[in-house]
């Protein structure tokens, strides 16, 4: 009896690898369909929804989040998690703000923002890989630490003085078009991330690590280095997000980007990436970010309060995880049923 | 005796004593009994939230929804209080526990029955429960003058010279401690958290354990929510924001492993108390309260690195011993 159980358990894990792969393809298409449904539904709900200018301008509201979601995709693919990205943005924003008050010019501000983000990410990566501590524990600590530093320095103050040309990153458009710079930057970074993930050995290593950490170690992947690079990269992209965010809102307060980590994780999971690692891809994450952004935009047009929007995204997240699992289980039951000649 | 000295809780207790002495060198008022009593009162809610988090960490999960459960329960009982100002405390308590239990059980179903990883399930419900606070309250506060005197007296009501909030907290902590140490289900929580596949092979259902742990955790969060809103005499949409991580911090400092299966109730209480001391000491040494979060983060990092290093040394020792024998 127990023997049978073990065999099916093994068979199941082998089967499910192929199944999930197949399902993800269809998850991408489901996401695309939901996205189209939101666009169509939105245009019915409000005549202002499909206005090109509005559609482009509303991306300002979620591009920072989407940019952070890119490295978060890699982190979750590895089976890790990073809940400190929002706080890295706060720390990086603090540095940008402080430097701006001291009269540093725009190029310097960008460099400082990226640099501080990168260093914060490297600290995460170092603690995680050097001491082999679960990423969730480390990043819960650094989440407090990074935002705490910002809070200790700023208190109830805010940095509000920035050079005029610094405004371009978060408020500017590609010259002569109504296309926001943030949107173009995100798309470029997303394409780059997609190539890295799906067309290079680096990306293959990430999948290998996420699916079987032990096997990937034995097959010669430098797991520690890989994770260190990915967490550092998350820090760097958080730095980019900080530059955009500070430039857009023109003010740095300690609570800047608080909760952004949860939004980024939500979009990645909604994008069909398994939280246990190893499954998912760039397309789902990009679509999920656009989907969430335009859903909020649509709800905003019909005056849905922010808290209630969170209810919708929270529910969406849970449904996004429950549905594939349920399908998978139904499918397995069917297979099992067939295998045992319909006796179960 | 040597074993007692080597225990994690003993180390932490010694650190706490050392810390108290250090701070009182600068501010003699710090180590007085009445100040300690105040700190305990201030920390009681965090202790309960940490106990709720502890149960989930033991199973190898994490519960992000604790503050939302606190806020929702607190709001609902406060609104009930407006309608029924004279409900006896016992009834209020039972309703509180029931609401918390229901929210926790919903988490438990998501994790236990639907197999959603705890971090994702509670990431969803942290937003959902918080949104429900807004939905039921319409974005309004329930403030002190709307609460009945019975209701506001819940955390105070001294009995044998000790405040109500400490009684409720102590009773909960003792019950959970006994439950985890002596009951079959309590041991099952440790077993499942320590090694899920092995626990399964000896016939312990991980799903059942998840469900029970989340339900209990919800009930305790509910109680924490009630004590929070009554102590501050206000139920808001932002009640207890950020408590999930403070609770993890208390647990980690108390020696609970985020991988599940190890940690003690005593450790968690000490961890929460230590955080309470830290916050209180800031004002004693004239540091702005804005330093609180940063110092908390530092304490978490130091604690987890220390935990890991100690664990590793112990494992090495055990291995070395085995080779010798």
* Torsions phi, psi for A156 (to 5 deg): -100, 15
- Residue of B7 and A225 predicted with greater confidence: A225
Mean pLDDT lowest among A1-10, A25-34, B139-148, B246-255: A1-10
- Residue of B204 and B58 predicted with greater confidence: B58
User: In angstroms, rounded to a whole number, what is the distance separating the alpha carbons of residues A112 and B18?
Assistant: 40
Alpha-carbon dihedral sign for residues B258, B15, A152, B241: positive
Does A155 have pLDDT greater than 70? yes
Instruction: Quickly state the pLDDT bin for A21 (edges 50, 70, 90).
Output: low
Q: What is the pLDDT of residue A225?
A: 93
Query: Would B276 be classed as within a structural domain?
Result: yes
Does A107 have pLDDT greater than 50? yes
What does the pLDDT look like over B75-104, one tens digit per residue? 999 888 888 877 888 888 999 999 999 999
- Compute the nearest-CA separation of A158 from chain B (Å): 14
User: In angstroms, rounded to a whole number, what is the distance separating the alpha carbons of residues A203 and B259?
Assistant: 27
What share of chain A in percent tops pLDDT 70? Answer: 91
Which CATH fold topology does A21-311 show?
A: ABC transporter involved in vitamin B12 uptake, BtuC (1.10.3470)
Instruction: Quickly state the pLDDT bin for B157 (edges 50, 70, 90).
Output: confident
Chain centre to alpha carbon of residue B37: 19
Q: What is the pLDDT of residue A111?
A: 95
- Compute the nearest-CA separation of A310 from chain B (Å): 6
Please tell me if residue B293 touches chain A, with a CB cutoff of 8 Å: yes
* Torsions phi, psi for B257 (to 5 deg): -85, 135
Helix runs in chain B, H state only: 2-6, 8-26, 33-58, 66-83, 89-108, 118-137, 149-152, 164-182, 184-194, 196-201, 206-232, 243-253, 265-284, 292-324
Q: Are A75 and A198 within 8 A, CB to CB?
A: no
Does A343 have pLDDT greater than 70? no
Count of CB atoms situated within 10 Å of the CB of B46: 24
Does A4 have pLDDT greater than 80? no
User: Which residues are registered as beta bridge partners of A180?
Assistant: A173
The total of structural domains in chain B comes to 1
Please tell me if residue B116 touches chain A, with a CB cutoff of 8 Å: yes
User: In angstroms, rounded to a whole number, what is the distance separating the alpha carbons of residues A139 and A137?
Assistant: 6
Q: What is the pLDDT of residue A25?
A: 54
- Residue B172 belongs to a domain with what CATH number? 1.10.3470
Q: What is the pLDDT of residue A103?
A: 86
Instruction: Quickly state the pLDDT bin for A12 (edges 50, 70, 90).
Output: very low
Q: What is the pLDDT of residue A132?
A: 86
What average pLDDT is seen over chain B?
85
Instruction: Quickly state the pLDDT bin for A8 (edges 50, 70, 90).
Output: very low
What does the pLDDT look like over A182-237, one tens digit per residue? 999 999 999 999 999 999 999 999 999 999 988 998 998 999 999 999 999 999 99
- Residue of A334 and A100 predicted with greater confidence: A100
User: In angstroms, rounded to a whole number, what is the distance separating the alpha carbons of residues B313 and B6?
Assistant: 13
| Residue ranges per structural domain of chain A | 21-311
User: Which residues are registered as beta bridge partners of B159?
Assistant: B162
User: In angstroms, rounded to a whole number, what is the distance separating the alpha carbons of residues B256 and B262?
Assistant: 6
Residue in B110, B120, B290 nearest the CB of A269: B120
User: In angstroms, rounded to a whole number, what is the distance separating the alpha carbons of residues B23 and B274?
Assistant: 13
- Residue of A85 and B263 predicted with greater confidence: A85
Please tell me if residue B107 touches chain A, with a CB cutoff of 8 Å: no
What does the pLDDT look like over A115-134, one tens digit per residue? 999 999 999 999 999 988 88
- Compute the nearest-CA separation of A81 from chain B (Å): 10
B205: left (phi over 0), alpha (psi -120 to 50) or beta: beta
Q: What is the pLDDT of residue A317?
A: 84
Query: Would B35 be classed as within a structural domain?
Result: no
pLDDT (mean) for B130-141: 84
Chain centre to alpha carbon of residue A26: 21
- Residue of B66 and A276 predicted with greater confidence: B66
Does A17 have pLDDT greater than 80? no
The angle that helices A106-130 and A223-249 make with each other, rounded to 10 degrees, is 150
Q: Where are the beta strands (DSSP E) in A182-269?
A: none
Torsion of CA A281, A283, A286, A289, to 10 degrees: -80
- Residue of A271 and B7 predicted with greater confidence: A271
Residues of A with CB under 8 A from a CB of B: 81, 127, 131-134, 136-138, 140-149, 151-152, 154-156, 254, 262, 265-266, 269, 275-276, 305, 307-308, 310-311, 313-315, 317-318, 321-322, 325-326
Instruction: Quickly state the pLDDT bin for A344 (edges 50, 70, 90).
Output: very low
If you measure CA to CA, which chain A residue comes closest to B299? A141
Query: Would B85 be classed as within a structural domain?
Result: yes
Residue in B121, B248, B294 nearest the CB of A145: B294
pLDDT (mean) for B120-135: 88
Widest CA span in chain A:
78
Q: Do B123 and A145 touch (CB under 8 A)?
A: no
> Which B positions 255-274 lie with beta carbon below 8 A of chain A?
258-259
Of A108-112, A259-263, B156-160, B321-325, the range with the highest mean pLDDT is A108-112
Mean pLDDT lowest among A130-134, A300-304, A321-325, B217-221: A321-325
- Compute the nearest-CA separation of A164 from chain B (Å): 30
If you measure CA to CA, which chain A residue comes closest to B237? A307
Burial class from Cβ neighbours inside 10 Å (0-12, 13-18, 19+) for residue A310 reads: buried
What does the pLDDT look like over B183-192, one tens digit per residue? 888 898 898 8
Q: What is the pLDDT of residue B119?
A: 86
Q: What is the pLDDT of residue A11?
A: 36
Does A135 have pLDDT greater than 50? yes
Q: Which residues of chain A neighbour B124 with C-beta distances below 8 Å?
A: 314-315, 317-318
Q: Do B258 and A143 touch (CB under 8 A)?
A: no
Query: Would B33 be classed as within a structural domain?
Result: no
Instruction: Quickly state the pLDDT bin for A167 (edges 50, 70, 90).
Output: confident
If you measure CA to CA, which chain B residue comes closest to A124? B301
> Which B positions 138-177 lie with beta carbon below 8 A of chain A?
139
Q: Which residues of chain A neighbour B255 with C-beta distances below 8 Å?
A: none
User: In angstroms, rounded to a whole number, what is the distance separating the alpha carbons of residues A88 and A118?
Assistant: 9
Please tell me if residue B286 touches chain A, with a CB cutoff of 8 Å: no
pLDDT (mean) for B194-209: 84
What share of chain A in percent tops pLDDT 90? Answer: 44
pLDDT (mean) for B112-130: 87
DSSP assignment string, A289-332? HHHHHHHHHHHHHTT--HHHHHHHHHHHHHHHHHHHHHHHHHHH
Does B241 have pLDDT greater than 90? no
Does B13 have pLDDT greater than 60? yes
Please tell me if residue B197 touches chain A, with a CB cutoff of 8 Å: no
Q: Are B226 and B154 within 8 A, CB to CB?
A: yes
- Compute the nearest-CA separation of B86 from chain A (Å): 32
User: In angstroms, rounded to a whole number, what is the distance separating the alpha carbons of residues A243 and B68?
Assistant: 31
Q: Which residues of chain B neighbour A8 with C-beta distances below 8 Å?
A: none
Query: Would B34 be classed as within a structural domain?
Result: no
Q: Which residues of chain B neighbour A76 with C-beta distances below 8 Å?
A: none
Q: Which residues of chain B neighbour A144 with C-beta distances below 8 Å?
A: 245, 249, 293-294, 296-297, 300
Evaluate whether ipTM surpasses 0.90: no
What share of chain B in percent tops pLDDT 90? Answer: 27
pLDDT (mean) for A162-167: 88
Alpha-carbon dihedral sign for residues A286, A288, A289, A291: positive
User: In angstroms, rounded to a whole number, what is the distance separating the alpha carbons of residues A59 and A51?
Assistant: 13
Q: Do B296 and A144 touch (CB under 8 A)?
A: yes
Instruction: Quickly state the pLDDT bin for B244 (edges 50, 70, 90).
Output: confident
Q: Are A226 and A196 within 8 A, CB to CB?
A: no
- Residue of A273 and B33 predicted with greater confidence: A273
Does B282 have pLDDT greater than 60? yes
User: In angstroms, rounded to a whole number, what is the distance separating the alpha carbons of residues A152 and A146?
Assistant: 10
Q: Where are the beta strands (DSSP E) in chain A?
A: none
Residue in B119, B135, B248 nearest the CB of A81: B119
Give the strand pairing for B234-235 and B142-143.
antiparallel
Residue in B127, B135, B297 nearest the CB of A145: B297
DSSP assignment string, A276-287? TSS---HHHHHH
């Amino acid at each position: 009896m127990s023997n049978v159980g073990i065999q099916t358990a093994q068979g199941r894990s082998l089967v499910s690898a192929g199944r999930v792969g197949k399902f993800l393809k269809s998850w991408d298409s489901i996401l695309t369909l939901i996205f189209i449904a939101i666009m169509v539904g939105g245009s019915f709900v409000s005549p202002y929804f499909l206005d090109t200018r509005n559609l482009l301008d509303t991306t300002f509201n979620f591009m920072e989040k989407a940019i952070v979601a890119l490295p978060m995709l890699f982190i979750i693919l590895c089976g890790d998690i990073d809940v400190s990205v929002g706080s890295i943005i706060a720390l990086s924003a603090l540095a940008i703000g402080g430097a701006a008050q001291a009269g540093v010019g725009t190029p310097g501000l960008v460099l400082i923002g990226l640099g501080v983000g990168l260093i914060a990410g490297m600290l995460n990566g170092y603690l995680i890989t050097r001491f082999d501590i679960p990423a969730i524990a480390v990043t819960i600590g650094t989440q407090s630490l990074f935002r705490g530093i910002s809070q200790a320095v700023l208190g109830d103050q805010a940095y509000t003085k920035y050079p005029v040309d610094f405004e371009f990153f978060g408020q500017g458009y590609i010259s002569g078009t109504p296309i926001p710079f943030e949107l173009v930057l995100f798309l470029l970074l997303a394409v780059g991330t997609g190539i890295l993930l799906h067309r290079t050995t680096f990306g293959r290593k990430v999948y290998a690590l996420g699916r079987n950490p032990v096997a990937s170690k034995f097959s010669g992947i430098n797991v520690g280095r890989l994770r260190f690079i990915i967490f550092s990269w998350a820090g760097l992209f958080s730095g980019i997000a900080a530059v955009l965010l500070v430039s857009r809102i023109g003010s740095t307060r300690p609570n800047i980007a608080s909760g952004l980590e949860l939004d980024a994780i939500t979009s990645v999971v909604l994008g069909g990436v398994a939280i246990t690692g190893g499954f998912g891809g760039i397309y789902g994450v990009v679509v999920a970010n656009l989907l969430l952004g335009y859903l909020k935009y649509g709800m905003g047009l019909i005056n849905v309060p922010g808290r209630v929007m969170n209810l919708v995204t929270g529910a969406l997240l849970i449904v996004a995880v429950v549905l594939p699992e349920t399908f998978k289980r139904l499918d397995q039951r069917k297979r099992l049923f067939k295998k045992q000649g319909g006796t179960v | 005796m040597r074993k007692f000295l080597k225990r994690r809780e003993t180390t932490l207790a010694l650190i706490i004593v050392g810390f108290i002495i250090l701070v009182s060198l600068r501010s003699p008022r710090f180590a007085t009994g009445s100040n300690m009593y105040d700190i305990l009162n201030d920390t009681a809610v965090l202790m309960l939230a940490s106990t709720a988090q502890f149960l989930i960490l033991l199973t190898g999960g994490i519960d992000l929804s604790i503050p939302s459960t606190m806020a929702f329960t607190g709001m609902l009982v406060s609104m009930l209080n407006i309608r029924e100002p004279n409900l006896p405390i016992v009834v209020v308590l039972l309703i509180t526990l029931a609401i918390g239990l229901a929210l926790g059980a919903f988490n438990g179903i998501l994790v236990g029955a639907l197999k959603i990883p705890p971090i994702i399930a509670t990431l969803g419900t942290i937003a959902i429960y918080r949104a429900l606070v807004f939905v039921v309250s319409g974005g309004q506060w329930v403030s002190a003058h709307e609460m009945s005197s019975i209701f506001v007296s819940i955390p105070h009501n001294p009995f044998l010279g000790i405040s109500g909030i400490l009684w409720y907290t102590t009773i909960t902590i003792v019950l959970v401690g006994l439950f985890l140490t002596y009951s079959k289900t309590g041991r099952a929580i440790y077993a499942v958290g320590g090694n899920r596949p092995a626990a399964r092979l000896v016939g312990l259902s991980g799903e059942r354990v998840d469900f029970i742990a989340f339900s209990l955790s919800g009930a305790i969060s509910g109680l924490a929510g009630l004590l929070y809103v009554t102590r501050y005499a206000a139920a808001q949409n932002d009640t207890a924001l950020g408590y999930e991580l403070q609770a993890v911090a208390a647990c980690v400092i108390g020696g609970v492993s985020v991988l599940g299966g190890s940690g003690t109730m005593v450790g968690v209480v000490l961890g929460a108390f230590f955080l309470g001391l830290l916050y209180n000491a800031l004002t004693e040494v004239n540091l702005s309260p804005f330093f609180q979060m940063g110092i908390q983060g530092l304490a978490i990092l130091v604690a987890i690195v220390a935990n890991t290093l100690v664990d590793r040394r112990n494992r090495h020792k055990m291995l070395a011993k085995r080779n010798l024998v």
